[in-house]
Amino acid sequence: MQIRRLFFVYLSALALLFASVAASMVLTEMSAQQLLDDGRNINVSGRQRMLSQRIIYLAQDLNVTTDQTADSAAIRTELLSAIQELESAIDTFLTSHTTLSGTEPLPEPRRRLYFGDTGGTGSLDERVRLYTQLARQIAADPQDEAALAGLIEIERAGLLDDLDAVVSNFEAASATRLAQLRRYEGYAMVTALLLVCFEIVFVFRPGHALIQRSLDNLQTRNQELEMAHAQLDAQNKTLRRQTTSLRRAYAESEKLRKEQADFTYSVSHDLKSPANTIHLSLNEIKASYGRDLNADGQELLGVALGTVRRMGDQIEDILQYAWATDERTPPEDINLNTCILNIKTDLSAVIEATNATVTHDPLPEIFAHKTQIKILLKNLMSNALKYHAQGQAPVVKISAHHLPLDNGIVLSVTDNGIGIPEKDFDKIFNLFHRLHVRETYPGTGLGLSTCMRIAKNHGGGISVSSELGNGSRFDVILYAPKAKPFLPKLEVAA
């Protein structure tokens, strides 16, 4: 059960309890008031009974007193006082009677008692009025025998009994009302008790359990959190350690990379000098003894010279590959238009020999490693000029556009050459991989590997679109490098 619902039930039950206690208090107050009212009414009706008696006694006394004619002053005074008392008793009696019988609405039993003709002698109301009227006649004339006889007649006919019946009726009604009120009070008490029981069973106990459970839960969660915190702490420490060792490893790998570049450079350099010596020697043989060799010997010498020249080229290319991503010179702003013009000058011999057309769109200025970008573009343009069908003049176009989402730039080199089959798109970037034998298209298989390395060093890459026989387009994506070398983002498994 939710604590909010429990709280609602608790409040409702509490409100009901208060309501029932309040009801009980109101009932008590009401019964007290009722008792008071009833008591007064009973009192009045009792006094009425008493007054009727007194009236008849006084009336008889009065009659007797005047009868004896012994007229002393004392008797006279007594008579006067008796008349006065009778008058006042009659007044009170009549007033009480009017009050008790004139209450609207008058309960049916009492109405019957007052106004019903039960014994054939007229209703109590009529009799009382007649009785008081007769008493007044006696008070006016104590010798009125007929009036006295009337009084006695009414008295005998059961006036007292009927007045008693009224008293009893008042008492019975009061008892009934009290009993009813008591019953209501009992109900209110029972309701309150039931509510208390209900609260204990359905609110306090589940509430207690709920709170206990919540506390237990909180305690468990607290423990879990503490454990998680400890674990995180440990992981943090591990991560920090790993970060440190990764930084160290990165520095180490950078150092090794530089060392390897240096190593490759010195090896290539050292290889270059014997190759030069062989080249020179072979040239000397050709110059001094070439004429003495037969055709076979001359062919072999030619092959040897060609090979050693190629070896020189290969060493150059390896050097270029090794130094392609050297970052000893910082990146700078490069005007690509100037860059292309410079490369065209470098390649002018090939361009003239093949009758090629090399054009470029207005190119933007980029921030990059200048030497690398020059090697990249020169290799791509040199390839575009090289791989064309025999007798077809190469048409090479260089264009550039910015990438819309990030600040990358795409340099495209398009040619009308022999094209590349789609299955070989990936292979051409592999180190030393070639699609043609050297006789058809010379090369070392290092050019595009170097280009890819440079593109990746600028955070980008190279993609090819081509169709066999229908030219190729190389798209190079480049991003401006950070001015300083940065540590790579560390990805450590948690």
The residues that touch other proteins, with contacts defined as CB under 8 A, are 303, 306-307, 424, 432-439
Q: Which residues of 256-277 are buried (b: 16+ CB within 10 A; e: fewer)?
A: eeeeebeeeeeebeebeeebee
Q: Which is nearer to other proteins, 237 or 438 (CB)?
A: 438
**Cross-strand pairs, 401:** 410
In the three-class reduction of DSSP (H, G, I as helix; E, B as strand; rest coil), residue 389 is classed as coil
Q: Tell me the closest approach of the beta carbon of residue 367 to other proteins, in angstroms.
A: 37
Residue corresponding to tokens 């290889």: 271
Find the shortest distance in angstroms from Cβ 226 to other proteins: 53
| Cα angle value 448/449/450 (rounded, 5°) | 85
- Check residue 201 and report its DSSP letter: I
Least separation in angstroms between residue 441's CB and other proteins is: 9
Q: In this structure, what token pair is assigned to residue 349?
A: 């011999």
Complex with other proteins: residue 265 or 441, whichever CB lies closer? 441
Give the closest residue to 20 by CA, choosing from 193, 188, 182, 199.
Answer: 188
Specify the residue, 11 or 303, whose C-beta has the smaller distance to other proteins: 303
For the CB of residue 379, give the shortest distance to other proteins in the complex, in Å.
Answer: 18
CA 223 to chain centre: 25
Calpha distance 18→130 (Å, rounded): 56
Please state whether 36 falls in left (phi above 0), alpha (psi between -120 and 50) or beta.
Answer: alpha
Give the integer Cα–Cα distance in Å for 416 and 65.
164
Alpha carbon 379 to its chain centroid, in Å, reads 59
* Least distance in angstroms from the C-beta of 433 to other proteins: 8
Cβ proximity to other proteins: between 198 and 441 the closer is 441
Residue with smaller CB distance to other proteins, 171 or 424: 424
Minimum CB distance to other proteins, residue 426 (Å): 14
DSSP secondary structure string for all residues of 397-440: EEEEEE-SSSS-EEEEEE--SS---GGGTTGGGSTT--SS-TTT
> What is the smallest separation between the CB atom of 353 and other proteins, expressed in angstroms?
22
Distance CA 486, CA 239 (A): 20
Which residue, 287 or 437, has its beta carbon nearer to other proteins?
A: 437
Residue whose CB is less far from other proteins, 257 or 436: 436
Which of 272/433 has CB closer to other proteins?
433
CB of residue 257 to other proteins, shortest distance in Å: 22
